[in-house]
Amino acid sequence: MIDARGLSCPQPVIMVANAVKSGEAEYTVLVDGVTPKENVTRFAESKGYSVNCVEKDGEFTLTLTK
């Protein structure tokens, strides 16, 4: 799990970029803003991941799967 809550861009994207280098098929990413959610989603999709997003109390749980 990648906990990027409280971080401003580009940190959440950098964290995800470093994680996807390991080549795992699935990641869970926690963010607490619309901008990081959109940026992480865009990055993940550019790397071939599909993204499922669930919002709860202003926080987003992104599940990235390949």
* Domain residue ranges in the chain: 2-65
- What is the predicted pLDDT for the residue at 4? 98
User: Which tokens in the block code for residue 54?
Assistant: 């669930």
CA Rg value for the chain: 10
Q: Report which of 30, 22, 63 is spatially closest to residue 44, judged by C-alpha positions.
A: 63
Q: What pLDDT, on the 0 to 100 scale, is given for residue 17?
A: 97
Look at residue 38 and give its three-state secondary structure: helix
Residues of the chain with pLDDT under 50: none
Q: What predicted TM-score, i.e. pTM, was given to this entire model?
A: 0.94
| In this structure, CATH architecture of domain 2-65 | 2-Layer Sandwich (3.30)
Nearest of 26, 18, 19, 31 to residue 61 by alpha carbon: 31
